[in-house]
Structure 1
Amino acid sequence: MQKQVTIIGSGIVGAVTAYYLSSDPTLNVTIYDEGIGQATKNSAGIISPWLSKRRNQRWYNLAKSGAALYPEIVADTQMGYSVYQQAGTIVTRENPDDLQALYDLAVARKQQAPQIGQIEKLTAEQVQDRIPLLTNPQPGVFVSGGARVDGDKFAHNLLKYCEKRNLVRHKGKVALGDQGQLLTPHGQQNYDTLILAVGAWLKPLLLPMKIVADVRPQKGQLIELQLPESWGDDVPVLMPEGERDFIPFTRSKLVVGATHENDMGYDLQVSDLVEADLFASGRKLDANLTKDQITQVKVGTRAYTRDFAPFFGPLPDNPHILVASGLGSSGLTTGPMIGKLLAEYVQTGRHDWDDYALSVDHYLSPAE
């Protein structure tokens, strides 16, 4: 008899979890998606964790493992260049000593993460050669393993692929009862395992169960521009010092962003001031940008914890309900590995995740 696995949330974690579970003939997999303010759909899409100076080793283990999963998943599902391109990443530093330190960090980390690929220290002129759009380049470090991903397309294509195997999708808002009952637009639904991959919405979702999640929402906005010139698939992503990320997607789409806005709650309104700030940041890198090239402003809500680390796993008093949240601005990088680990737990009941995250006990507390 098939076991019923239900996933709430179709972002990066939900989609990748469904990908690994939908190949299991012993499971019946269902996913629900409200789709409002989803961080995955509104992310800049940079996959390049190796040069981060964050000292949280668990986060780094998750991030480098998640980055390594993309080529495997993309190849298996035959996604095209419009979704994922491994064109490399350039991180700039103006100070020569800082640039050398960044290069040395990349070389050291390659020992444990060969996916970082080729490493080069570039002059400002060489950076401009790699990204011809730039009119104000800085020297930087290039890593060939860096990539960009359209999170919206990636999750959408992955779920379409899963539907051909063993996945049923539903739209609509769901809620939990005080005992963890799943309440949907079609009434109460039974499950053997429930996976809550709802990002910043985990806190309100768990409150009926008298559980408070240490999750706060953070607003993120970015702008997309359509430029008159076109470029190939090999133009790297730029992570410039002191400015917003600068992501040339395939052909002529440019993304600038995203912001990190605290204390905004679940506000999904576009801010004219933020749009102007993003455009000004882009103009510092490419003085030829014009406002009429902006095609849209995307707004999403990320989930953050007090220590800025993600958490995931079964509820302490209910192993049949799994949660995942707190991915922050690196969700597209850490999300794939979290999804894979959750799927392995569903299939085997085992989890040894000390290398990746603290226990969920650190992020959940009883409601007063």
Structure 2
Amino acid sequence: MYDVIIVGGGVIGASIAYHLSRFQKRILVIERDKVGSHASSAAAGMLGAQVELKPDNPLFHLARASQLRFVDLVEQLENVTEEKLHLNQNGIIRLARTDEELMELAELHQAQSAIGLSSQLLTYDQICNRVRGVSPAVKGGIHVSDGQLEAVRLAPLLMKVAQERGVEVYENTTVLSLEIHHNEIRGVNTTSGQYFAETVVLAGGAWTNDLLPDEYHIPLYPVKGDAFSLRLPEMELMHTLYTKDCYIVPKSGNRLLVGATESPYEWDPVVRMEELFKLFLNASKIYPPVLDGEIEKTWSGIRPQTKDGLPYLGLDPDLPGLIYATGHYRNGILLSAITGEIVTDLIVHGKSSFDLQPFAPERWRNKHAISE
């Protein structure tokens, strides 16, 4: 009998295990593949709270709170594991190629300045002073302090520390269904047998509905994203470059990570040349030096999106013992720190200091909350 079973060993499940492992709980993590697979290893690692979220978005303040925790979190993980996450805090430059996009960035700057956040509007010449090689097609941009790290290493390091503290992890084990008795969660049924716990946390990403009874299915769907990485003869790019069509993220080893396409309701992980070509074309239009790069590898990830764009995070009032932590879409890495903290507080203290109402799991059951 476990105190907590976490379904999913991606970055969300790993963060929950890491934070919860500080308490005297018997914890089991069940992962259908390997820890940190799928979307968690496909992510670019951007901690982009400011670059695209406006302050009036309910997700913004949660994302900002999570972002601020990463300096300490990365330091803790690197000190314990003696491995590097290569946290880059040079910021992100969101580029504008049209007058309309310039106006949009000006509005974003104004909204963030109004609540005391630092951002800087840049002319094309000012961008060129920071980034050599930016295309003349760029009209301007905004610099924000959002950082980035090596996403592929985050979940494994979180889980490594959690295991050292006593968390059990079963990989290559699929959860088939929840074990429910008298409308209360009792555990899970898996390909390797039954496991019982007082609390079950759903952190299964796009596969969450596979575990739920039909009447509890949530409006969650997969969005496939293709990406690729390049190696350059020399690395001059220090800032992440971001547009609505693509992002270019500098990584260690003279590498650039370029992403990502969006294919809603697509489960097939095969990387399509047509999608990669569009992505490469978009990247070359803003940063021509990618044309000098050598293709390192290509990949795809299946990200969990929700109908209203907000994750499901919190206790299920209709199924005691069940906690949702899913639907983070493109913000899984960014939101992992705060999600681990919130779920831990819900389990240990029965409540969170954050307002979780916008992310309440039951909101989809209210016909007025989501327009189908």
> What TM-score results when the alignment is normalised by the length of structure 1?
0.86
Q: Deviations over 1:306-359 (max 9, x none)?
A: 111111112222221211222122222233222211111011112465356242
Aligned residue for 1:62, secondary structure, equals: helix
Structure 1 residue 194 corresponds to structure 2 residue 196:
no
Per the alignment, do residues 98 and 212 of structure 1 end up closer, same or farther by CA in structure 2, a change over 3 Å counting?
closer
Maintained 8 Å contact 1:86/1:148: yes
The match for 1:183 is 189
Structure 1 residue 93 corresponds to structure 2 residue 96:
yes
Maintained 8 Å contact 2:179/2:189: no
The aligned amino acid for 2:4 is V
Structure 1 residue 57 corresponds to structure 2 residue 67:
no
Q: Deviation at 1:53?
A: 5.0
The match for 1:164 is 164
| In structure 2, C-alpha distance between the alignment counterparts of 1:183 and 1:291, rounded to whole Å | 51
Q: Deviation at 1:231?
A: 4.1
Maintained 8 Å contact 2:96/2:140: yes
Per the alignment, do residues 331 and 110 of structure 1 end up closer, same or farther by CA in structure 2, a change over 3 Å counting?
farther
The match for 1:252 is 254
The match for 2:323 is 322
Structure 1 residue 212 corresponds to structure 2 residue 214:
no
Structure 1 residue 142 corresponds to structure 2 residue 150:
no
Q: Deviation at 1:261?
A: 1.0
The match for 1:102 is 105
> What TM-score results when the alignment is normalised by the length of structure 2?
0.85
The match for 1:76 is 76
Percentage of matched positions with identical amino acids: 23
| In structure 1, C-alpha distance between the alignment counterparts of 2:357 and 2:90, rounded to whole Å | 27
Q: Deviation at 1:91?
A: 1.1
Structure 2 gap segments, 5+ residues each: 367-372
Q: Deviations over 1:8-62 (max 9, x none)?
A: 11222111111211111x2122212124762121112221222435575321121
Among residues 25, 30, 33, which one is paired with 1:32 in the alignment?
A: 30
| In structure 1, C-alpha distance between the alignment counterparts of 2:357 and 2:38, rounded to whole Å | 23
The aligned amino acid for 2:274 is L
| In structure 2, C-alpha distance between the alignment counterparts of 1:277 and 1:359, rounded to whole Å | 37
Maintained 8 Å contact 1:83/1:150: yes
Please identify, of 352-361 and 246-255, the stretch whose mean Cα deviation from structure 2 is larger. 352-361
The match for 1:226 is 231
| In structure 2, C-alpha distance between the alignment counterparts of 1:331 and 1:122, rounded to whole Å | 29
Q: Deviations over 1:271-304 (max 9, x none)?
A: 1111111111122123343497222222111111
Per the alignment, do residues 336 and 356 of structure 1 end up closer, same or farther by CA in structure 2, a change over 3 Å counting?
farther
Structure 1 gap segments, 5+ residues each: none
| In structure 2, C-alpha distance between the alignment counterparts of 1:93 and 1:290, rounded to whole Å | 21
| In structure 2, C-alpha distance between the alignment counterparts of 1:82 and 1:271, rounded to whole Å | 29
Per the alignment, do residues 8 and 56 of structure 1 end up closer, same or farther by CA in structure 2, a change over 3 Å counting?
farther
Aligned residue pair count? 354
Per the alignment, do residues 29 and 274 of structure 1 end up closer, same or farther by CA in structure 2, a change over 3 Å counting?
same
Aligned residue for 1:268, secondary structure, equals: coil
Moved over 6 A (4+): none
Q: Deviations over 1:202-224 (max 9, x none)?
A: 111113x7421211111111111
The match for 1:18 is 17
Q: Please tell me the root mean square deviation across aligned C-alpha atoms, in Å.
A: 2.7
Per the alignment, do residues 314 and 15 of structure 1 end up closer, same or farther by CA in structure 2, a change over 3 Å counting?
same
| In structure 1, C-alpha distance between the alignment counterparts of 2:126 and 2:253, rounded to whole Å | 21
The match for 2:370 is none
Structure 1 residue 346 corresponds to structure 2 residue 363:
no
